[in-house]
Amino acid sequence: MTLSDYLFLFGGMGLVTYLPRALPLLYLAQKQLPQWLIDWLSLIPVAVLSALLAPSLFANVADRSFSLGKPEFIVAIPTLLFALKTRSLGGTVLVGMGLYWLAGLFI
């Protein structure tokens, strides 16, 4: 691919990535939001995080099958307890990485 091919491809990808990020913010920030929308939007973060996380813990990527004993899930339990106890983001990332590394050595 030439430079202009790359510019066209990445420019197009950049545009369709930027617009969904910018348009709601530019439009909604100037409006007085109704209470029901604020209530609904306040539930969006927990829903998005859970929806991003759950399939990586309970499903195999290769064939999209259900799985209850993945190392990702087993490691997630002590990692979750650590997060609940310490509420430290950096610490939780390090503990999760360390446990996952150990799990890889023993499982």
Partner 1 sequence: MNSPDNHQTNSISSVLFQGASAAWPICLGYIPIGLALGVLAQQTGLPWWSVALMSILVFAGSAQFICVAMLGAGASIPAIIFTTLVVNLRHLLMSSALAVYLPQINSRFLALFAYGITDESFAVNMTRFRDSSWDRWRALTLNHITNLVWILATVTGSLVGQLVPQGALGIDYALTGMFICLLVFQLNGRIYIITGLIAALISVGWYLLIPGDSYIVGASVCAATLGYFLQRHHRSSK
Could you say which residues in the range 21-50 bind partner 1, by CB under 8 A?
21-30, 33, 36, 38-50
With CB under 8 A as the contact rule, the residue among 4, 20, 62, 69 that binds partner 1 is 20
In whole angstroms, the minimum distance from the beta carbon of 103 to partner 1 comes to: 8
In whole angstroms, the minimum distance from the beta carbon of 69 to partner 1 comes to: 15
| Sequential DSSP letters for 52-104 | HHHHHHHB-TTT--B-S--HHHHHHHHHHHHHHHH--HHHHHHHHHHHHHHHH
In whole angstroms, the minimum distance from the beta carbon of 44 to partner 1 comes to: 5
Could you say which residues in the range 43-102 bind partner 1, by CB under 8 A?
43-59, 64-66, 72, 75-76, 79-80, 83-84, 87-90, 92-102
Number of residues that bind partner 1 (CB under 8 A): 75
List the beta bridge partners of residue 59: 66
107 sits near partner 1 (criterion: CB under 8 A): no
Find out whether 59 and 72 touch, Cβ atoms under 8 Å.
no
- Integer Cα distance of 61 and 83 in angstroms: 26
> 37: how many CB neighbours lie within 10 A of its CB?
11
In whole angstroms, the minimum distance from the beta carbon of 2 to partner 1 comes to: 10
